[in-house]
Structure 1
Amino acid sequence: MPDLFGAVLRPSAAAQSEAPVARSAFTAQTGAPTAPSVPTAPSAPVPAVFERVSSATATHAVEAERERARSAGYAAGFAAGASEAARAAQVEAEHVAARRASEDARRAAEHAAALDALGRAAQVAAARTAPVLAHAEARLHAAALELAAAVLGTELTDGERSARAALARVLGHPLVPGVHTVRLHPRDVAALQAAGGVPAAAGVEVVADPALAPGDAVGEHPDGYLDGRIDAALDRARAVLLAEVGSAPALSAAGREHAAAGHVLPHQRGYLA
C-alpha cells in the first residue's frame, strides 16, 4: 500500500516463502497422530520487507496518459475547427457570389439605361439638326448656282464668243439631228455678222429672236425644238440638286414658262419645252 511519501510497499520473497512452512507444520500437528518428534528451538521471526516503487515511474505513466488525452483532444478540436472553417468559407463564398451577381445586374441595368438615354438624345438631336442641315445644303446649292450664273454672265459679255458658243450648243447636239432653224438674241446675230458672217450650215437658218437673252439659243427641228438657254440649263441643275434634299426648286421665268408649256422631248432633262 502507499506510504506517506507515495511509495508502494510489497512483502518480500523471503516472507512469502516462510508462510507456507508454518501452515504445513500446523497441518501436521492437527492431522493423524504421528510419532513424537523432537522439539526444535523456535526460529527467529522473519521481518516483512516491502519493495519501494519509484515515484518517477508513476509520474511518467500519469504524464503519458495525460499526453494521450491531450493529443486526442487536440485531434478532435482540430477536426471540429476544420469542419467549422469549411462551413464558414462556404457560406462566405455564397455571400460573395450573391453580392457579385447583384452588382453585375445593377451595372447591366445602368448600362442599358445609359444606352437608352443616349439613343433618345441622338434621336432628338437628329430631329433638330436634320432640317437645319437640309436648309443649309439647299442654300449651298443655290449659292453654287448663283455663282455659276454670275460666271456665265461674265462670259456672256463677250458677244461674239457667247454667240458662237450658243450656236455650237444647238448644232452640235448628238441626239437631235435635223435642226433647220436656230433662234438667237439679236445682239448675238449682229456679233456673228460683224465677225465675218454667220457660220454656214447646210439647211440651217439663223433667226434673230428678241425674246431670248444674250447667249441663249433655241434650235427647231422636225420633232420639236431644243432648248439651249442658259436660264433653262441652270433651272435643270437647280431642280436636280434641290430634289436631293427634298426641296421644291425655285424656277426662273424661263423655267416656269417651259413647265407651263408641258412639252418634254425624250432626250431632254428637267423643265424643258
Structure 2
Amino acid sequence: MEALDEWLTTVREENAAFRAKTGAIKLAAFRAISYLLAMPRRLAKAVRGDGWASSVHDHQLPWLPLLPALKTTPMRDLRDHPWTQRLKQALPEIREELADVQRSFSLARYDSDLNPKRWTAYYFYLLGRPVREHLAACPRTAELLRQVPHNSFHVCFSAIEPEGSLHPHSGPINGSLVAHLGLEGCAGARIWVAGKSAEYRDGEVLVFDDSFVHWVEHSGTQTRYTLMVTFWHPELTWLERIFLKRVVRTAR
C-alpha cells in the first residue's frame, strides 16, 4: 500500500488517543499485572536461553502495552494451530447458514469510514459477549464454535464488497490471534500483515497476529465472505487468559 508510513503514524495516533482515554494509572496496572502473570513463561525462556524480553517490530502496535515474552510472528503457520482443520471440514455447512443470513449483516465494528465500499459483519461473539440470536440462527456454525478454541473477542461472518478495502489498523493485544476461513468470493482478496501479503482462497484458512498493523484490499468481482475467529496465543497461561478477557470486555 502507498503511504504506509502515514498510515502507521495514524495508527500510532489512534492508539495514543485510546491510551490517553484509558489513563496512565490503568495502563501502569495493566503492565504490572501482565508482567507478573508472565513470570513463569519469562523464566522458562530465560532458562532455555531464549531471553527475557519480547522482540520489537515497528508494525506491532496493539492498543495496550505488549504482553511480555510471547512468540512474535505476523503470519502464523497453520501447523501450529491444527484445530483450524475443523473449520475447513465444516465449510459446506457454514456456507449453507451464511446464505440464510446474508441479508442480516450490519456495519462492522472497525469499518473504515474512509472507504465507501463498506465492511459488514454478522457477529456471533463481540468483546467477550455472545450474540445469542445470531448463534440461534446458525446452529451448526454455533456448534462448530463450541468445538474450537475461540476467545469470544471478535467472532463473525465478515463481508467486503468488490473493490472494497479496510484501512490499516491493529488489534487490542498481542495475546489474541485471528483465523480467517474463506467462505466464498475470495478471488482477488488479499490481506497484508506487517507489510507481507497473503491471498484469501475459498475453503482455506489464514492465521495472523492482529496486534501487527494489517489491512485488506479486494479487487475481485464478488463480495468476499469469511468466518473470522479470534483465539488465544498458545503461549498464554490460563491466568493470563482470565485477566485479558476481563480487560478486553471493557475496551473501546
Between Structure 1 and Structure 2, the one with more strand by share is 2
* TM-score normalised according to structure 1 size: 0.19
Between Structure 1 and Structure 2, the one with more helix by share is 1
* TM-score normalised according to structure 2 size: 0.20
Greater C-alpha radius of gyration: 1
**Higher RCO structure (Cα 8 Å, ≥6 apart):** 2
